[in-house]
Chains A and B, each alone.
Chain A
């Protein structure tokens, strides 16, 4: 019984991880019709920036590492910095390619992702090796019927849900969100209606990158470990989750996350020696979904404008 609960919690946590990444992908595809293959690696930026800040501050002897305020401040800073990275990516890579064929922009994001991976590997001390991630979550948790639900489980779970709701509200209720929806419907008309399309797209990148930063932090904090190249795997799984759930639909991100993590936890938890194969099986599931129902479970925007 214990084992099953533990398994279930792992499953839930993994779902949250993938969902956090998937939300970003859904935004990029939904608003700009772009598959941003550097999104996963932007998550890793978040993780490494946080580690850098931690290292930086402790170098200067500022280590109130237990305090909630301290941790929160660093996290917020990291997210802001990662959001700024979004600005950089937009100005350097995306903006020049706004009028290029889709294929070219896609390839550019792939190259960007690879550049991020390598820059981290080369510039961070011992970059090729796995890095220990600082402790963010407090020990202990809440006891429910003799079973301990750790703080990290609770925080990550609710954080994911809150972010989903916030993003949804943002897109549906704010002015910027409105301009995003307009741009996603019709690029040209949006411009004619006075929407600053460039600014809107840049906002998407800022929010997407900030989200990625948060996802990377949560990932690192939960597993207490991170490495320069987990971004590609995370990105692919996150994108797959978004696709399975239905691109363009934020709630699809959860469904996709649940499905992929279910496959992985199931395979690695219940089959001997399964952890080697878990990637294989989740990719096979993705492949099957893409073949049978590419528009995803909740469906994406249909009917291409001809």
Chain B
């Protein structure tokens, strides 16, 4: 348990007068699923944005394998091994399903501009490796073969979510951030999603997953550890059972009970 994947310490994000995230700390270990829950606007996606480099934290540190990554640009963080999905799917809509996954492998690709013009063999070689890997990944997550050349925008909602996960996994990341993966899914699809998320762990054993979720059945089923955010502050943490029975958490979600 000595290898901490991600260590977030006193993380704060201030937009003008608003503290979207206020003094939040947590740790992510390999092979573990950490869930971040909390009412809307609690600052969950903001945390993801800070970890993935979209925002620069106003305060606090984010340590990835003991390197402080505050302020690193998003593409560097992706190359270092942290990938993410988005609340509203951000696929490369007009590109094919296959191309979306191949693009996920950018951090590991080595061919250059010169190769593109002169050394076509190396391009072909790399492409073949990428395609094979992409096919395997897509297969593993049950995306049908005849959809491989479809435009990403033509997929069903569930397939889109899975495609985004495939794209994130394509570069063998150490950490994957899933932002509300079950949004818009019915109970059947949610069950499949939980299986898919568990598949991520079996695919790469020491990967760490951070999950933002609203669907408590998902959290209950797969999260190893839960932290609860409300108005940017961390108000509770622990296992799902510990957290769900906490009065503070219940009040945050439901509001203080009024007795007549």
Contact = CB atoms under 8 A, between A and B. Distances in A.
Interface of A: 303, 306
A126 to B, nearest CB: 46
B259 interface: no
Interface residues of B, number: 6
Contacts of B49: 306
Interface string B12-38: 000100000000000000000000000
Nearest to B86: A306
B123 interface: no
Contacts, number: 6
Interface string B177-217: 00000000000000000000000000000000000000000
Contacts of A303: 15, 55
A306 B46 CA distance: 9
A306 B45 contact: yes
6 contacts: A303-B15, A303-B55, A306-B45, A306-B49, A306-B54, A306-B86
B154 to A, nearest CB: 15
A303 B14 CA distance: 12
Contacts of B45: 306
Chain A binding surface, main DSSP class: loop
Contacts of B86: 306
Contacts of A306: 45, 49, 54, 86
A78 to B, nearest CB: 42
Contacts of B55: 303
A211 B45 CA distance: 40
Interface string B221-238: 000000000000000000
A299 to B, nearest CB: 11
Nearest to B55: A303
B57 to A, nearest CB: 14
A306 B47 CA distance: 12
Interface in B43-94: 45, 49, 54-55, 86
A306 B13 CA distance: 15
A257 B194 CA distance: 57
A306 B53 CA distance: 12
A53 to B, nearest CB: 46
A303 B49 CA distance: 11
A303 B54 CA distance: 10
A266 B55 CA distance: 41
Nearest to B20: A303
A-B pairs, 4 with minimum CB distance:
A306-B54, A306-B49, A303-B15, A306-B86
A133 B216 CA distance: 70
A240 to B, nearest CB: 27
Contacts of B15: 303
A303 B13 CA distance: 12
Nearest to B46: A306
A303 B16 CA distance: 11
A270 to B, nearest CB: 41
B88 to A, nearest CB: 9
B106 to A, nearest CB: 19
A102 to B, nearest CB: 13
Nearest to B90: A306
A303 B15 CA distance: 9
A303 B55 CA distance: 9
A306 B49 CA distance: 8
Nearest to A304: B54
Nearest to A302: B15
A306 B44 CA distance: 12
Nearest to B15: A303
A298 to B, nearest CB: 15
B207 to A, nearest CB: 23
Interface in B154-173: none
B91 to A, nearest CB: 14
B82 to A, nearest CB: 15
